[in-house]
Structure 1
Amino acid sequence: MAVALALAGLSAAGAASAQEADPTAEPQDTQVDEIVVTGIRASIQSSIQQKRNADIVSDVISADDIGDLPASSIGEAIETITGASTHREKGGASEISIRGLGPFLGFATFNGREATNGSGDRSVNFNQFPSELISSVAIYKTQRADFVEGGVSGIIDMRTIQPLDFGRRRFQVDGRALWTDYDDKLIDPSGLGWRGTLSYIDQYDLGEAGRLGISIGVQSLETSNPEELFTSSSTWVACDGNQVVSATANCAEVSNASVLSGTPYYLIPGSRTYRQFTENDQRDAAFVALQWRPNDRVEVSLDYQSSQRIYTEDRQDLNFSETRRGVNNREVSDDGVLLYYTGNSSIESTPTYRIRDEQYEGGGLTVTWEARDDLTISADASFSSTYRSEMDRQTRMRSFNRDVYGNVTPGVINTNRVAYTFDYRGTDIPIITVDPAFDVNNHDYFSTNGRVRRDENVREHDIKSARLDAEYRRNDGMITSVAVGARISDMTYTDFDDRVEMSFTTAETSAANLACRRDFAQTGFLDNASGNSITSWAQFDPLCLFEALTGVEDTGRNADIRAIGNRDVEERTLAAYAMANFETELFALPFSGNFGLRVVNTDVTSRGLRSGIDVINNIDGTVSLVSTGTFETETFGGSSTAWLPSFNGTLALKDDTLLRVGVFRALSRPDPSALGAGRTIALAGGGSYATVEEAISGITANGNPAAEPLMSWNADVSYEYYPNADSMFSGAIYYKQFTGGFVPSVVNETYEIDGNTVVVPVIVDTATSDNSDLWGIELTAAYRFSSLPAPFDGLGVKGSYNYAESNFENHDLRLGDSVDAVTGVVTPGIVEPAGIFGLSTHVFSGSIYYEIGPVELQAIYKGRTEYFQKFVGSAAQNRYIRDTDTIDFRASYRVNSNLSFSFEASNLTDEPRIHDMPIPGSLREYNSYGPRYYLGFRFRY
């Protein structure tokens, strides 16, 4: 920026000198040239204009030209919109929360239609869509009756270019080199990644057949995503604080009732893990759109999108698998956080090779017919389909009192355990100090209990929908138009988890160990985290180990992939609406808007499998539970009908000042995966068990087919001021009242386990009948200092802030309140409930940009406070993400109207992502992924 300012100053001084050189020169004829606004300024102007013209409370980020959306990804573009915040995965923006409300309370559409994903929820996987091929992203914060139903917090709608509306030919090539800072830590770095995009838009005169527009875009990318983390298992228990734990036993769990009667407790997971891994990420995408106008009254639009993303992951874990064993010399905080203790555990080196293949296809056909000057009829048919397959090949190598050569292993006690201390007092991650006699970097010491797992998860999510709409326009009276419409949608969601597991003798494990060793794959492991005490460990090639033990590269699936955890869900939605648009006066001021009613009927059919269970005793002393192979199908269902009135009004206080109000009822449906009828059996960690009941730490329903949509009443008031094309100021107050929170419900179910009838309490997540409230404020400002003298007139700022509070409650699955499904009796929990999924009390995004001639510079800050992050697709305990602040930077230089260059950097402050569980302050995970840099060019013709 300093260089740009200096150059601008020299340029301005030169211009001034030229004028002063000939003060007697005759005045020249003045001619007003057309000012062409481009880049960041054009995007902001377009966004302001669309917000101003909208008939509801909304915020938009848009581009006047293809590829001009000012962000390296769709997620990062959205998080610059007022009130939007993202959860970061793989170093990039992922799930979107609107106004502090999690993804399950929002709704996302693509070209106005529902879209599928591979996560088991109803959000859109924004990483599947190239930002260069998206023209605009809007967040609608109040509802209209003609919107696709869904979205208590709002609707995110992504749009692609309509070629005839674009109105000009455009051929464009975008290329970017990608570099991840952490790649330098790798011993065998992946080098530069890349992303290439090719797009073409044109219009054709077909004579008597009208006009045809075509838009084609393709993109390919390949990059690496190195990460490093310290993590823990997702199952946490409360252990008895009075117990002196035997060195050969786990700490004893204590019930919620005992804690509430005065028994001290501490919170502890089943395992803790250091993880180092690299990832190779590849994506190929293609977008096609045709827009045909045979005459002035008919338009036909056809669009198709395809995206395939494949990533592979080489994951290396050092695992302390028995962190509940021998827990003594404890220091515990007042709220149960375990700060210090001594214990002993098996130590495992566990390499994993993961491959995920996610394929998306979607598209639709829209026909619009202006039957008369005052009547328009449109029909739309669309589909969206996502297939995701994720397969892990994992091998475990465990510590043992004899190394691979049969020699005594120093530091090992109780056959294969190692003593250690745990100290989490004032550091980023715990200081785990292993008995110095045991060297975690010595491959020889991981010589027993070889175990191979091949885990495959497949999810398929499909939506087929059709809608018919009609609008009748009037030329007189307060009502300017009336619209009616109907929509039908069929959604299916299926998934399965398949596990092939094998255990091996010490001799077999040692032989594989010797064949598949490798050096630690990086330097400086977790060097940005205070307290890190383990910077390397013995690593093994995951594919080599898998094949050395099994004899094959891939064992393949089980012959029978049926399991009691599988989901098979069908959902049919029928909806109809009527809406009127109006224009009138209120208090002698122009007043316009719409009101309407939408009715939505939802029917759910969910099928689940039930079977007997056999107990398998493994070589290492643990047990496995497997189905007997005889299954019965149980079918469950649910149905609901919702009436959704809405009203939106805009009062023009002045030519540049608007007051908007919105009152509406909204629904958010449960995630497709949350409608499953399957069961998940969790095993207690480590060791052998005297009884099956002791081995089973819990059975959890992986969904509730009877779950109804979450309903809310909503009210918004927004004040908006538009002083000029580059500037706007707005403030909004909003209120939402929900029906219910979430609390675990306990149901006794009978299972045949190892030939014996066992009654096990099953936890089902259910909604309460209580009302919950949320209120908030959001502020937005954009301003360009165009009144300042050159070169400072190119300076501009944009910022947004959202504040939200709610009494909504999500109770912890194991340690929170629970309700008996039969009696309705509530058993109080010992940990406080979480709030709404994704709710951050404070969310802020701000940017400063500067344009001087062909140079554009922009710095962006994004921050949000702590929030509850639910595990999508599986029932789990409460997880919290700590406060997050990131800084990004963008710069571009236009050589001419055809060629430009750009530089971008994200996460410049190397902000880690830190998880707590099951309460804030109780560390579960510390994840670090470093800054990322992009150097690109664009050629357009």
Structure 2
Amino acid sequence: MSMFKPSMLTLALVAAGVVSHTTFAAEETAKKVEVIEVKGFRASVVESINTKRFSSEVVESISAEDIGKLPDSSIAESIARLPGLAAQRLDGRASKVSVRGFSEDESATTFNGREQVSISDNRGVEFDLYPSEIMSGVTVYKTPSANLEAEGIAGVIDMQTIKPLSVDERVVQINTMYEKTSFDKLNPDGDDAGLRGTFSYVDKFADDSVGVALALTTMTSPNQEKRWNAWGYPTFGDDDKYSILGGAKPFVRSSTLERDSAMFVLEMAPSDNLSMVFDALYVDFKDKKILRGIEIPFAWGQGTISEQSAVFDEASGFVTSAITEGQRVVVRNDYEERGAELSAFGFNTKYNVNDSLTLELDASHSSVDKKVWSLESYSGTGRGDNRGAADTIGYTFNGGNTGAQFSHQLDYSDYDLIKVGGPLSWGGSAALNDKYGVSETEYKNQLQDGFLNTPTVEDELNTLKLAAKQALDNEFISSVEGGVSYRKREKNKVSEGYFLTLSDFSYPDNTGMMVVPEQYRLGTASLDFIGMGDMIAYDSKAMVADGQFSQLAESLTKPDHTTKSWRVEEQVTAAFVQANINAEIANLPLSGNVGVRYVKTKINTQGAIARNTGNGQLAFTPSDVENDYSHVLPSLNLSLAIDETQTVRFGAAKTLSRPRMDEMHASLAREYKQQPDDNGNNWEITGGNPNLAPKEATGLDLSYENYFSAEGYFSAALFHKELDVWTFDGSVEEDLAGVVNPSTGEVPENTTATRKYKENGGSGDLWGYELALTLPFNLFHDTLEGFGIIVSHTGVKQDVKDQYGKEYKLPGLSEKIQSLTVYYENHGFQARTSMRKRSDFKGEINGVGFTGVQVDIMGETIWDAQLGYDFGEGGFNSLEGLAVSLQVQNITEEPFTALSGDNALQVRDYQDYGRTYMLGLSYKF
């Protein structure tokens, strides 16, 4: 039959080394055509376009011209600029990525095609763990094919390292960068400046049969924040018509992200029939946070609200301003350290048995070990309730979503007034009272002077894949491939917390508070941004290390740690077969693939069932549950070339997302409450659901792509997901006949319990469209050579109902996602400004005890800019290889804002990160 003949444009791209999916004949022909070479950011654009153009699936891609030269300092920021993708910021850094309206839990992340572990409690990857400096590119698969070794309803995000045998010449390069925040030090012991450095080496040996790539990176990156945080907004009055600020916890945060990493790739091709690649990645990640602020209770505090001072917003009934008298607060000096070590190894070998049959073996291991050490240190004017000086504190909510401004009378920077110790009765613990011999006295439940959270996560994944590919002499099917794979993943989480009490506290001899010793004093931290002035700043971490506090495990009396501690083992056996299409229909080239993937999953989850023994202590019973399920996942990808520049794509597939691990474990807690719930039950059971099934969806994609230039294209896409199975909050009644009430030691009359957990059910649809344009301005006139624009817009809608038929908003879904990049690159000069924008969405943040909490996050528009100059490209031959750059992140100082409910005045979080400046220098030998 008549085969597709590549255009001169395609051949030029092949000769430039940016097209990977071509025939040998096309490569030979390409040598005869003239090639216009582009470098730098423009070369990355060309390579990304061609990855999209020549892929069998619907994909988006970012590429690096050279190792360590992705377009952004953060890989998450680069990913978030792709059409249909958006990032959620964590402590000011882009971290979690959603695809086409689905949260990070619904997409899989792979590294060189292999699924990766995560440092979170679940499967969603936090991308700030991965250095952009070691990546050569990222490909996002929006439609799956049967041979992809990962599953996700939203798609698969694959990060790639360099293949050294594909590099034309030796590369030895050093990159350095100085980083500075726009805020001066918000904490006296914080950082407002940092450094990054990368050394990379790529070379080939033995007649280009052995290639080596090595990258070493180190980073000390500062980040600072002024944060307003509200506890909540209780209602009052007839029909709860009015609402008021329940309490606030504003603070200033100074963080330093320290990350050291090493990447190594060994590629060998000892013969034309055999190729082998070994890659390894090691990341040592440590995020240190210093937080200082003042917790101010209003509706839930000791103070009395002056009715004359209250100002109401008539439209919403919200108290926008008020004054409380006799108010006592908690001054906080907190420290948090989140550390993780990631190791990943992979080996891949391919052997050509003959001209048509190829065998493949792939084996990999990845593991992560995360430890969190989160310290809360309390201080105030007196221990417990009604001791020490009280304050008169007022608040007024500002316009917009910036939270409230406060007024006060006490001096919180006075070390003689503000002393270490628990100023409010928040430390209720029977074990803590027993430890100090405090029973029915005025000091009961007033012994908590701080708290220490120490959760740990271990995640390990081992995989093995065997596959074969047979080329066919067929007018429709060019090849058939198939294989089997086995993945074993084990994730363990241990949750623990400790009550802290001053070491010299004794009852009844020494029940006071501690004046901060001189050796721990650091001066003051300013809270002027919310009107609270200066507050004392001391080194709480050093005080704990020096034994100034005694510790008592919270898990002795509180069952929460039981339901947050678990082990999940997951064994996935998969088999696939796929036919790769290369045909003609009506003289138009048709390519793609059709296949089916069978996946069998076996689950074993272990935990504990906690119950109260009646004396305030807990007893535990081991819990071990097994579950298994299997799925058949068909997929189809078709690409019809209308002509040499225009392509129509169609995709259809059945997909799944595995349950969140913090929702499918076997740990439970039983608690008897004095007041019955809405079902009339006093018993409550909380925990995981080991029988939770994966979420399932059927997806359809249709897109039109026009590659009108080597550096430009336009695409329009429609997508639809029918959600067949989803996960929602649910409850069921269980009978606890014979179980005694721990407070009385007798079996209660009502033995029915309400068990709260996640369950499968509901259904719905998600649909949307994507528009993307990459336009080089040289198409309009030669004088505009080097100018260009990259723009995309995505619209997403949903109609999802839970198992009770109620409307449900998918986490991570923004109805509008937009990105814009305007660039100029020519004669060594580079300039680029980028914008990413998303509308409101539900996102997950860390709540009490590092439990994920869903909140309403307001939409945001983030602008970044880069300037750079390559001296060699600019004609300075003596400075060949030297380049400098200047970046500004978050130019408009866009805040992160989360609301509590529908009222825009009821701000839960307002986080101001300021700007970040980066000055970089690189030298390529």
- The one-character-per-residue Cα deviations of 1:497-556 (angstroms, maximum 9, x if unpaired) are 222213455956533446577466555753xxxxx333433333313544677368x999
Q: Measure, in 1, the Cα distance between the counterparts of 2:569 and 2:744.
A: 34
Matches within 5 A, 1:89-100: 89-100=90-101
Q: Deviations over 1:458-514 (max 9, x none)?
A: 001111111111111112221111111111111111111222213455956533446
Matched, 1:725 2:710: yes
Deviations 1:227-246 (Å, cap 9, x if unpaired)? Answer: 2211134xx5864533xxxx
Corresponding position: 1:674 with 2:663: yes
The partner residue of 1:651 within 640, 643, 658 is 640
Amino acid at match of 1:461: D
2: distance between equivalents of 1:268 and 1:704? 37
SS at match of 2:346: strand
Quote how far apart the aligned CAs of 1:91 are.
Answer: 1.9
Distance 1:602 1:654 in 2: 44
- Distance in 2, matches of 1:730 and 1:39, equals 24
Match in the other structure for 2:23: none
Which deviates the most, 345-354 or 644-653? 345-354
1:866 shift after superposition: 0.5
Cα distance in structure 2, aligned partners of 1:837 and 1:725: 38
Q: Which amino acid aligns with 1:280?
A: T
1:636 to 612, 625, 643: 625
Q: In 2, are the aligned partners of 1:100 and 1:843 still within 8 Å (CA)?
A: no
The equivalent residue for 1:849 is 823
Contact 1:791 1:852 in 2 (8 A): no
Q: 1:101 to 1:358 in 2, by over 3 A?
A: same
Partner of residue 120, structure 2: 119
- The answer to whether structure 1 residue 858 and structure 2 residue 832 are counterparts is yes
TM normalised by structure 1 equals: 0.82
How far apart are residue 893 of structure 1 and its match? 0.6
Counterpart-to-counterpart distance in 2, 1:634 and 1:885: 47
Partners of 2:730 and 2:759 within 8 A in 1 = no
Deviations 1:354-374 (A, max 9, x none): 222110001111111111211
In structure 2, the CA distance between the partners of 1:424 and 1:677, relative to structure 1 (3 Å rule), is farther
> Is 1:907–2:890 an aligned residue pair?
yes
Q: Counterparts of 2:623 and 2:235 in 1: how far apart (Å)?
A: 37
Which residue is 2:729 aligned to? 744
Question: Counterpart of 1:365 in structure 2: which amino acid?
Answer: F
Q: Find the counterpart in structure 1 of residue 24 from structure 2.
A: none
Contact kept, 8 Å, 1:204 with 1:211, in 2: the verdict is yes
| Aligned equivalent of 1:180 | 181
The one-letter amino acid paired with 1:477 is E
Closer/same/farther in 2, CA of residues 457 and 375 from structure 1, 3 Å limit: same
- Name 1:66's counterpart in structure 2: 67
Asked if residue 934 in structure 1 is aligned to residue 918 in structure 2, the reply is: yes
Mapped pair 1:313 → 2:289: yes
Q: Displacement, 1:722?
A: 0.6
Change (3 A) 1:737 1:923: same
In structure 2, C-alpha distance between the alignment counterparts of 1:45 and 1:120, rounded to whole Å: 38
2:5 counterpart residue number? none
- Give the CA deviation at 1:188: 5.8
Q: Given residue 720 of structure 2, which amino acid in structure 1 is its aligned partner?
A: Y
What corresponds to 1:198 in structure 2?
A: 199
CA–CA separation in structure 2 for the residues paired with 1:333 and 1:143:
52
Q: Which amino acid aligns with 1:746?
A: S
CA distance in 1, matches of 2:870, 2:698: 49
Per-residue Cα deviation, 1:602-660 (whole angstroms, up to 9, x for no partner): 122211212333688xxxxxxxx6x43x4210122332211111111111111100000
1:365 is aligned to 2:347: yes
Q: What pairs with 1:172-571 in structure 2 (closer than 5 Å)? A: 172-183=173-184, 187=188, 190=191, 192-205=193-206, 211-233=209-231, 239-242=235-238, 263-264=239-240, 271-321=247-297, 323-325=299-301, 331=312, 339-340=320-321, 345-400=327-382, 418=391, 420-424=393-397, 426-431=399-404, 433-434=406-407, 436-447=408-419, 449=422, 451-504=449-502, 509-513=512-516, 515=518, 518=521, 521-523=524-526, 525-526=528-529, 532-546=530-544, 550=548, 563-571=562-570
Residue of structure 1 aligned with 2:695, choices 710, 715, 718: 710
Deviation of 1:125 (Å): 2.7
Specify the code of the residue in structure 1 equivalent to 2:773. A
With over 3 angstroms needed to count, the CA separation of the structure-2 counterparts of 1:549 and 1:334, relative to structure 1, is: farther
Deviates further, 350-359 or 706-715: 350-359
Q: 1:396 to 1:664 in 2, by over 3 A?
A: same
Matched, 1:793 2:765: no
Alignment partners' CA distance in 2, 1:64 and 1:92? 24
In the alignment, residue 771 of structure 1 is paired with which amino acid? S
Change (3 A) 1:165 1:852: closer
- Residues 1:773 and 2:765 are matched in the alignment: yes
**Counterpart of 1:163?**
164
CA shift digits 1:686-738 (9 cap, x unpaired) = xxx999999x9996745322211110010000000011101100000001111
For residues 669 and 397 of structure 2, what CA distance do their matches in structure 1 show?
32
Q: CA deviation at 1:179?
A: 1.0
Give secondary structure in 2 for the equivalent of 1:147: coil
Distance 1:304 1:312 in 2: 26
| Equivalent residue number for residue 756 of structure 2 | 764
SS in 2 for 1:226: strand
Distance 1:335 1:601 in 2: 52
Following the alignment from structure 2 to structure 1, what is the Cα–Cα distance between the partners of residues 134 and 724?
39
Asked if 1:804 is matched to 2:796, the reply is yes
CA distance in 2, matches of 1:425, 1:931: 23
Distance 1:760 1:393 in 2: 39
Pair 612,701 (structure 1): closer, same or farther in 2 beyond 3 Å: closer
Code of the residue aligned with 2:768 in structure 1: it is G
- Gap regions ≥5 residues in structure 2: 1-31, 423-447, 873-879
- SS of the aligned residue for 2:449 comes to strand
How many Å apart are 1:677 and its aligned residue? 2.6
Q: In the aligned structure 1, how far is the partner of 2:577 from the partner of 2:245?
A: 53
1:860 positional shift? 0.4
Q: CA separation of 1:594/1:401 partners in 2, compared to 1, >3 Å: closer, same or farther?
A: closer
Paired AA for residue 330 in structure 2: E
2-structure distance, mates of 1:132, 1:669: 31
2:579 is matched with 580
Q: Which SS does the other structure have where 1:156 is aligned?
A: strand
SS at match of 1:69: coil
> What secondary structure is seen at the aligned counterpart in 2 of 1:807?
strand
Tell me by how many angstroms 1:279 deviates: 1.9
Shift in CA distance, 878/476, structure 1 to aligned 2, threshold 3 Å: closer
Q: 1:924 matched to which residue of 2?
A: 908
Counterpart of 1:45 in 2: which secondary structure? helix
Distance (whole Å) between structure 2 residues aligned to residue 129 and residue 293 of structure 1: 28
Q: Which residue of 1 aligns with 2:588?
A: 589
Tell me if structure 2 keeps the 8 A contact 1:392–1:455. yes
Call closer, same or farther: CA 1:335–1:659 in 2, change over 3 Å: farther
Identity %: 23
| Kept after mapping to 2: 8 A contact 1:188/1:521 | no
How far apart are residue 444 of structure 1 and its match? 3.8
- Whole-Å Cα distance in 1 between the matches of residues 921 and 101 of structure 2? 36
Aligned equivalents of 1:469, 1:68: Cα separation in 2: 33
The answer to whether the Cα contact below 8 Å between 1:677 and 1:701 also exists between their aligned partners in 2 is: no
Change in CA separation of 1:55 and 1:919 when aligned onto 2, cut-off 3 Å:
same
Q: Secondary structure, in 3 states, of the residue corresponding to 2:226?
A: strand
1:175–1:697 distance in 2 versus 1, CA, 3 Å: farther
